[in-house]
Amino acid sequence: MRGIDKSFPGVNALRGVNLSLRSGEVLALLGENGAGKSTLMKVLGGAHRADAGVIEIEARETVFHSPHDSRRAGIAIIYQEFNLIPALTAWENIFLGQEITRAGFLAPAEERQRAADLFRRLGVEMDLDAPCRRLTTAQQQLVEIAKALAFDARIIVMDEPSAALTHHEVARLFDIIRDLKKHGIGIIYISHRLDEISAIADRVTFLRDGINVGEKPIGELTRAGMIELMVGRELKDEFPARVVPIGDARLEVQGLRSGRAVRDVSFTVKRGEILALTGLVGAGRTETVRLIFGADKREAGKVFLDGKPLNIRSPRDAIAAGIGLLTEDRKLQGLVMGHSVRENFGLPNLNRFAPNGFVSMRREREEFSQFVDTLKIKVPHMEQRAGHLSGGNQQKVVLAKWLARNCDVLIFDEPTRGIDVGAKFEIYLLMNELAAQGKAILMISSELPEVLGMADRILIMHEGRVTGEIADARLATQEQIMQLAVA
């Protein structure tokens, strides 16, 4: 890709970007949220048409008018949000749009056999007849990889492939990537997890504000060097220091239960404290906070705020009580993607912006503009659709709406998933500031360095139960947490 330009109303997303990929190579594409990574890959995938620039595949200039053109050129893009039909089986999804036919008729038995061969090549067992909605995230990702192999893709783009995977699943993914390299497939790997980049990439290309700012072999890069090229400044400490006096219990949970997902969970979060809730995927962390927030119905348990019992039957009750939840999935649960950022900001605050039943857009804009400045939200205008923002800026919009609500308790479920190191640091600073104001913060995180770097105290869950507590996170180790997580 040479000299790629792409603009949208009010935004120059890409400016003269160059990118090269060799056969059998893993090229990492790094940059802050909004740097242009996704836009560049959508140009490569035929979803966007570049305003200027040239794409060459094996020295032959190519023009993509649609994703179908890109696919015919041997390019497969596995987006962070998978493109699978939940009701269809694994083998049906693999051959959707590229069906095998014989004499004009579909050949389902042949498709199923070829799907089995593809999964065998990947070294995994798969229930071919299970609908994809019943597959785990890691299994759905394998279906996407099998789809790419089914049409002999020579270039595979993986956008945040490890975001929802366990450590074991990430290791398995890396084994598959190394095998794909041996078969001459070139891979573009997008991730904000720098330890993964060091482990799997051969070369790194850096984007910042839509411009190439560097390209180096992985052997010439340190973690600090990668951060500096991404954010354009030296970031000495990934986790800001915090000294906040911790007060009395603010949020108290007693005997929370819901089937096998949450079993007799009890804990407290104190004023000025950041309590981390961690464990392996499926341990029951998200299910626990959804019960607290009233998003799911609990079978048993009590919730107290500042010593007073709460009768929370719905998220509306939790919001009214002063509890805010930044959901794990900001696209499906945190934002209405088709609405403007202003409208999203106003949703939990309508009692203030629409006291007489009519929304004051002027008040929404005035208050939201303060958070745009404070949180450094990159948005061309307030009527921009939330779905058009980068992941990091979407997360900041979610943050803004809850900050405007001035909640006493804030629950952060995977607050920095899919967010670059610069934006992470800003969110960490904000969490520290909230704690200093006396808020109680409950943070769910799968990233153990984040847990150790941000928490005052750590709770570990396994199969719906709290299996351990570390009273002083400064004295904890990753090994200690993992031992409790697999208990």
Q: Distance between CA atoms of 149 and 188, rounded to whole angstroms?
A: 15
Q: Could you tell me which residues come within 8 angstroms of residue 3 by beta carbon, excluding any fewer than 6 positions away?
A: 16, 17, 18, 52, 53, 54
Helix axes 391-405, 421-436, angle to 10 degrees: 10
**Residue 408 banded pLDDT, cuts 50, 70, 90:** very high
pLDDT digits (tens, 9 = 90+) for 136-147: 777 888 888 888
Q: Please check whether residue 48 lies inside any domain of the structure.
A: yes
- C-beta of residue 111 within 8 angstroms of C-beta of residue 99: yes
- Residue 367 Ramachandran class (φ > 0 left, ψ -120 to 50 alpha, else beta): alpha
Which residues are 278's β-sheet partners? Answer: 460
**What is the number of structural domains in the chain?**
2
Last residue of a domain, one of 231, 257, 284: 231
- Interval 91-105: pLDDT, tens: 999 998 888 888 888
Nearest alpha-carbon partner for 300 in 290, 291, 309: 291
Give the long-range contacts of residues 119-122, CB within 8 A, separation 24 or more.
119/90, 119/146, 121/149, 122/146, 122/149, 122/176, 122/179
Nearest C-alpha neighbor of 298 from the set 312, 319, 316 = 312
Q: Is residue 236 part of a domain?
A: no
Question: Beta 440-444 vs 262-270: how paired, if at all?
Answer: unpaired
pTM: 0.69
Q: Are residues 307 and 363 in the same domain?
A: yes
**Rounded distance between C-alpha atoms, residue 314 and residue 437, angstroms:** 27
The two tokens of residue 442 are 């409950």
DSSP, residue by residue, 322-390 = TEEEE-S-IIIII--TTSBHHHHHHGGGHHHH-TTSS--HHHHHHHHHHHHHHHT---S-TTSBGGGS-
| Sole residue written with tokens 């504000």 | 209
Question: For the chain, give me the number of helices (H) and strands (E)?
Answer: 17, 22
- pLDDT class for 487, splitting at 50, 70, 90? low
Do residues 275 and 269 lie in contact, with contact meaning Cβ atoms separated by under 8 Å? yes
- Would 390 be classed as within a structural domain? yes
User: Is there a single domain that holds both residue 175 and residue 321?
Assistant: no
| 116 & 215 share domain | yes
**Residue predicted with more confidence, 120 or 280:** 120
CB 321: neighbour CB atoms within 10 A? 18
161 and 30 share one domain: yes
- Helix (H) or strand (E) segment spanning residue 484: helix 478-485
Most confident of 95-99, 204-208, 324-328: 204-208
* 302 and 382, same domain (yes or no): yes
* Alpha-carbon radius of gyration of the chain: 23
Least confident of 198-202, 297-301, 332-336: 332-336
| Greater pLDDT, 325 or 166 | 325
Q: Is 238 a member of any domain?
A: no
Q: What is the CATH number of the domain that holds 319?
A: 3.40.50.300
- Is 219 within a domain? yes
- Statement to judge: residues 392 and 473 lie in one domain: yes
- Domain, as residue range, for 343: 249-485
Does residue 216 share a domain with residue 253? no
Q: Please give the average per-residue pLDDT across 45-69, as a whole number.
A: 94
Q: State the amino acid at position 75 in one-letter form.
A: I
Is 244 among the domain residues?
no
pLDDT in tens, 257-290: 999 899 999 999 999 999 999 987 778 999 999 9
Tell me, yes or no, whether 146 and 284 share the same domain.
Answer: no
369-400 pLDDT, tens per residue?
Answer: 998 988 888 888 889 999 888 777 888 899 89
Q: Does 475 map to a domain? A: yes
- Asked whether residue 116 is assigned to any structural domain, the reply reads yes
Nearest alpha-carbon partner for 58 in 44, 37, 42, 74:
74
Supply angle C-alpha 41, 46, 50, rounded to 5: 75
**How many Cβ atoms are within 10 Å of 415's Cβ, its own excluded?**
25
One domain for residues 262 and 223: no
Based on the fold, state whether residues 330 and 464 are members of the same structural domain. Answer: yes
Pair (356, 298) in one structural domain: yes
CA-CA distance, 323 to 329, in Å (whole number)?
A: 18
Residue 469 three-state SS: strand
Say if residue 214 is in the same domain as residue 273.
no
